[in-house]
Each structure stands twice: as C-alpha cells, then as structure tokens.
Amino acid sequence: MIEEFTINISDDEINLLKQKIDLTRWPDEINHKWSHGTDLKFLKQITDYWKNDFNWRDHEKKINDIGSYRYKTKSGLRLHFLHSKSERDNAAVIASLPNTGPVGASGGSGGGSGSSSASSSSSKILCCAYYELGYLPREIWRLDQRYGVWLHRNNRKLMNGYHAWAAPLADFVKRDTIGGKVARKVMWPIVKAWAEEMAHTMSPEKHKSNKVGKVIATVGEAFSYAVGAVLLPKNNKKEA
C-alpha cells in the first residue's frame, strides 16, 4: 500500500548530528591529491558546510513539496520515494535512482550537471574537479554550485551541452599523468576566471566581476548551448 509520508526530522536529531561532527577525531593526512581516498582537507570543508551552512529545513520542505511517499512490500520492506506528476498528459515517465556522488551534486556552469542522470557525475565537472584538487576556494565553489542550479532549472540545453564537453575534460585534468597535469595547469586560469565571474553573478556585493571571466563565460555558455541544442533532440528521440 502506498501512503503519503511527510519528512519531519526533529531538532534534537539535527543538533545531535552537529555534536557528532564537533566530536570527530581527525586522522593524520596520508593522501596526496586523493591518492588513497577522500582528501582530509576536502572532508573537513564538507563537514563544516554540513554543520554551519547546510539548511536541512529548506531541503526537507523541497522534498515534501515534490511529493513524498512510502510503500511497504509483501516481504515487509519499506521503500521511500518521491513522485511528482507532470502537467503534460503525454509526458514520459522518468525514474531517478539515488546517486553516490559527493555533496553538492547540482553543480554550475564551470560546475554543473545537464540532467538528473548526470547529477551523480558532479565530481567530473570543472569547478568540482578543481575544488577537489585544492585549487578553487570553497566560497567560490559554493556560489558556482548555486549558479549551476539556476541554469539547470532555466536552461536545460545549455547545461546538457556543458556537461557533454566538460565532464570528460574534468576527468582528464584529475588524472595523475603528464597529460593530465599539463591540461590541469593550462585550464586553471580559464576555470578560475570563469568561476570568479559566476561568483560575482551570484554575490556581487562580496565578489568583484572578472572581465576575462565574463568573456569566457559568454563564449563558453554560447558554445554549451549550441552543443546542447544538438544533443537534446537526439536524447529525446532515444527516450521516445
């Protein structure tokens, strides 16, 4: 039987999570740029974000607003799922499975995902790649994520196009090879300028405009839109 399920995590549980984060005993760093797993600096930044910046109530409301339901199978297994009915009568059914990507999965242009299925690959887009590598400051990265969310909601073609060419490039610059290291250094000034311009767009009172980044963003977004305009019809035909 399917029943509506309103998520309502108690303040006590949220506060307990923050207390556990405060009590974390951090190990010594043995990594070299993610060579043995999660980078300690990155993990500390993520936990700091969860404790001080992440607003669970906002996300809880979004989940409930989408449509939160629970289903109990004959074997007794309880399944929680979200369901939002399309306003179109002939809309295709889309099932989105939970992803195992890092926190901040809805990246930006210079860090963004083109579709719901792409969100699990957020670590493979440029701003996330450079953030994970220790190049991009956390504040800039967070604002880029917000910019990406806005673009994802308002310009699907652009975000699909961006992800199509940026994902393999981000994957390449993260490689610990001669080619990857060279590409990483070559791309860094471009990514940095673009990311700073996006940060200015989202928070002009705190971040100055980057003129070079503005030019790069204009060209990059136009190119991404063109790529997306070609890819999106093809993907729709495959889904049909």
Q: Tell me what pLDDT residue 32 has.
A: 73
Place of tokens 């250094």: 185
Domain boundaries, the chain: 1-84, 101-240
Give residue-wise pLDDT tens across range 190-205: 999 999 999 999 888 8
Backbone angles phi, psi at 204, to 5 degrees: -65, -25
Distance between CA atoms of residues 172 and 16, nearest Å: 40
Give residue-wise pLDDT tens across range 101-132: 333 333 333 333 333 333 333 444 788 889 88
Distance between CA atoms of residues 53 and 73, nearest Å: 37
Give residue-wise pLDDT tens across range 176-232: 899 999 999 999 999 999 999 999 998 888 899 999 999 999 999 999 889 888 866
Distance between CA atoms of residues 55 and 60, nearest Å: 9
State pTM to two decimals: 0.49
Contacts of residue 236, defined as CB under 8 A and 6 or more positions apart, other chains included, come to: none
Following DSSP, what letter does each residue of 100-150 receive, concatenated?
A: ---S--S-BTTB--SSGGGGGGGGGSHHHHHHHTT-S-HHHHHHHHHHHHH
